[in-house]
Amino acid sequence: MQQTGAGEFDAFVAARWSSLLHLARLLTGGDRHRAEDLVQESLVKLWFRWPKIAHEAPEAYVRQVMARAAARSARRRWWGERPVEQVPETSAVGDVSATVAERSRIEAALAQLPTRQRAVVVLRYYQDLSERQVAEALGCPVGTARSHAARGVARLRQLLADVTEPVG
């Protein structure tokens, strides 16, 4: 099957990979391997729809696919392992330990939220989507998305406050 716009698709993936991976890590509770799988599976689905979606809203489509797939995946007990030929290279950048520690703390708190609440909080506050867009991405009413967001943020505040309170 010959796909039109393959160069546009490649450019989209190259430009958005990092942010999609970050979204996927948040949706999967911080599991980098599951996040990479989630992004790849979502981009495969996008590839087949690319001619129809390319000039409309490809990122919104991928977000919707990712959010729904992450919710389905969370219900499974075992995701399996998929070996790779070569471990990707990472480049070192100055001392970012404080940033990494804070991000890890937030990701750990997000991982403790129920799947739907986590998805809503991530889409609403990390991806800066409107309540309507979040509801569309998750296939639920706006009121449900709003309720999940309120409960999720309240629980995050509680989890993050518990961690920062002095012991003793």
pLDDT tens-digit profile of 41-58? 999 999 988 988 888 889
Range of the domain at 58: 6-76+95-164
Return the residue matching tokens 């490649």. Answer: 10
Number of independent structural domains in the chain = 1
pLDDT band at 1 (very low <50, low <70, confident <90, very high): very low
- Residue 60 scores a pLDDT above 80: yes
CATH number, domain at 21?
Answer: 1.20.140.160
Decide if 82 is inside a domain.
no
Decide if 84 is inside a domain.
no
pLDDT in tens, 24-45: 998 888 888 889 999 999 999 9
The SS3 assignment for 47 reads helix
Q: Is residue 122 within 8 Å of 134, Cβ to Cβ?
A: no
Decide if 51 is inside a domain.
yes
Decide if 17 is inside a domain.
yes
| Structure tokens belonging to residue 90 | 């990472």
Q: Where are the alpha helices (DSSP H) in 54-114?
A: 58-74, 97-111
Decide if 43 is inside a domain.
yes
Looking at the whole model, is its pTM more than 0.95? no
- Residue 84 scores a pLDDT above 60: yes
| Structure tokens belonging to residue 19 | 């942010």
pLDDT at site 151: 95
Q: Is residue 155 within 8 Å of 117, Cβ to Cβ?
A: yes
* Torsion angle, alpha carbons of 39, 100, 14, 16, to 10: 70
- Residue 163 scores a pLDDT above 70: no
- Residue 152 scores a pLDDT above 90: yes
Contacts of 95 (CB under 8 A, 6+ apart): none
| Structure tokens belonging to residue 44 | 């495969």
Task: Give the Cα separation of 66 and 80 in Å (integer).
Answer: 18
Task: Give the Cα separation of 158 and 161 in Å (integer).
Answer: 5
Decide if 89 is inside a domain.
no
Contacts of 80 (CB under 8 A, 6+ apart): none
| Structure tokens belonging to residue 28 | 């999967």
Decide if 86 is inside a domain.
no
pLDDT band at 5 (very low <50, low <70, confident <90, very high): confident
Decide if 19 is inside a domain.
yes
- Residue 77 scores a pLDDT above 80: no
User: What mean pLDDT comes out for the span 70-79?
Assistant: 64
- Residue 115 scores a pLDDT above 80: yes
